[in-house]
Amino acid sequence: MTGQNIMKAVVIQAFGGPEVLTVQDIQLAEPGPGQVLVKVMAAGINFMDTGARRGLGAAWELPLTLGAEGAGVVLASGPQVTEFAVGDRVAWHYVPGSYAEQVIAPVSQLVPLPDDIDFATAASLMMQGLTASNLVDKVHAIQPGDVALVHAAAGGVGLMLTQLIKLLGGKVIGRVSHADKVEAVLAAGADYVVIGRAQNIAGQVMRLTEGQRVNAVYDGTGAEGFADSLEMLDYFGTLALYGPFMNPIPPIDIFSVPRSIKLTYPSVMHYVRNREVLLEKSRQLFAWVSAGKLKAVIGKRYSLDDAQQAHRDIESRNTTGKLIIVP
């Protein structure tokens, strides 16, 4: 083991609030079979990271380096690695330990990063881009003329969703909580933006559509807007709940659900459940970005030392666009 294997990472020794995030020197093992060592050039901050920090959602072992999404450059490869070489640019949507200067990554989780996509864009695109792609592809295949309501439309997933729905020929009504978020959602292509809490906007939406119910509702809030979201759906419409740690929804009487709707809580892991699909869907996202059809909106960049503030900001729900860490 050489001194080069010691690097800085955001580590938690106990579960809790943002104050448990500390920058420490840690030692990485050499990459094993099917693994590479990657220099992290940018890491995505996702709401699920705040749940991991609190110990929710999995049997996390401490100490724990947070972060799962990012982009960087291959520094070294382990045995039996043929797909990537030292110096290759790569991106990933799920490699735990990404809030760090370096990370050991399984080749199975890495995708080649085209030269015309910068690292910050890639780290903004992978998790939320693939999540949005799933929502408009497998979860509810958007057809030309479909009308979709996007809750939290100014967030990272919301801005991606808005752009992809428009790309596929749909119309978008975006909901935001504050007036200062309207501009970003309109810039992403939304046809209309409504302002308010999730449970208070059904009337606004129905006025915009002249009483016509919508084909899809994409909701990352959970219980808050659930009843209204159901009420706004047309026959055979889809209510797609997404994202971890949303407000829990009380038990549902299936016979009380109206209008032959579909209700789903999809996972991006099920969407890219094999390497071929991961490569295909990532390439599509990169191609749209290269063609100017899709834009990753970066809200704010942080250093490793600023990780506590980054978590306070994302939990405030007052941010617009994607938050990233640049180690």
DSSP string for residues in 204-257: HHHHHTTTPPEEEEEESSBGGGHHHHHHHEEEEEEEEE-SSSPBPPPP--GGG-
For residues 163 and 191, state if they share a domain.
yes
CA angle 2, 4, 9 (to 5 degrees): 120
Average pLDDT over the chain, rounded to an integer: 93
Domain extent at residue 196: 144-265
Q: What percent of the chain has pLDDT over 90?
A: 81
pLDDT of residue 2: 41
For residues 86 and 168, state if they share a domain.
no
What is the per-residue pLDDT across 192-205, written as a single tens digit (0 to 9) for each? Answer: 999 998 888 899 99
Nearest alpha carbon to residue 100 among 228, 229, 21, 8: 8
Q: Are 148 and 205 in contact (CB under 8 A)?
A: no
Domain boundary among 265, 293, 308: 265
Segment among 64-78, 217-231, 263-277, 303-317 with least mean pLDDT = 217-231
Give every CB contact of residue 278 below 8 A, 6+ residues apart in sequence.
93, 109, 111, 272
What is the per-residue pLDDT across 97-138, written as a single tens digit (0 to 9) for each? Answer: 999 999 999 999 999 999 999 999 999 999 999 999 999 999
pLDDT > 60? residue 37: yes
For residues 198 and 289, state if they share a domain.
no
CATH code for the domain in which residue 219 is found: 3.40.50.720
Amino acid at 45: I
135 in a domain, yes or no? no
Token pair belonging to 126: 């992978």
What is the per-residue pLDDT across 233-278, written as a single tens digit (0 to 9) for each? Answer: 999 999 999 887 677 888 888 888 868 999 999 999 999 999 999 9
CATH code for the domain in which residue 89 is found: 3.90.180.10
Segment among 97-106, 157-166, 223-232 with least mean pLDDT = 223-232
For residues 155 and 208, state if they share a domain.
yes
pLDDT of residue 245: 64
pLDDT of residue 4: 57
Distance CA 142, CA 311 (A): 33
250 in a domain, yes or no? yes
pLDDT of residue 256: 84
Q: Are 163 and 190 in contact (CB under 8 A)?
A: no
For residues 74 and 159, state if they share a domain.
no
- Report DSSP letters for 25-79, one per residue: EEEPPPP-TTEEEEEEEEEEE-HHHHHHHTT-SS---SSEE---EEEEEEEEE-T
Residue of 174 and 226 predicted with greater confidence: 174
Distance CA 162, CA 152 (A): 11
pTM assigned to the model? 0.93
Give every CB contact of residue 292 below 8 A, 6+ residues apart in sequence.
none
For residues 178 and 221, state if they share a domain.
yes
Q: Are 173 and 216 in contact (CB under 8 A)?
A: no
User: Residue 1: beta bridge partners?
Assistant: none
For residues 204 and 315, state if they share a domain.
no
CA–chain centroid gap for 213, Å, is 27
Q: Are 324 and 44 in contact (CB under 8 A)?
A: yes
174 in a domain, yes or no? yes
Nearest alpha carbon to residue 249 among 259, 260, 239: 239
133 in a domain, yes or no? no
User: Residue 252: beta bridge partners?
Assistant: none
pLDDT > 70? residue 1: no
For residues 184 and 294, state if they share a domain.
no
Give every CB contact of residue 3 below 8 A, 6+ residues apart in sequence.
none
For residues 211 and 302, state if they share a domain.
no
Nearest alpha carbon to residue 135 among 150, 115, 124, 125: 150
pLDDT of residue 3: 42
290 in a domain, yes or no? yes
For residues 32 and 114, state if they share a domain.
yes
Provide the domain count of the chain. Answer: 2
Give every CB contact of residue 253 below 8 A, 6+ residues apart in sequence.
none
139 in a domain, yes or no? no
pLDDT of residue 10: 98
130 in a domain, yes or no? no
pLDDT of residue 200: 82
For residues 199 and 244, state if they share a domain.
yes
For residues 97 and 153, state if they share a domain.
no
What is the per-residue pLDDT across 10-31, written as a single tens digit (0 to 9) for each? Answer: 999 999 999 999 999 999 989 9
Distance CA 152, CA 170 (A): 18
Give every CB contact of residue 182 below 8 A, 6+ residues apart in sequence.
176, 193, 195
82 in a domain, yes or no? yes
Q: Which residue carries 């038990």 as its tokens? A: 251
Question: Across residues 131-146, what is the average pLDDT?
Answer: 97
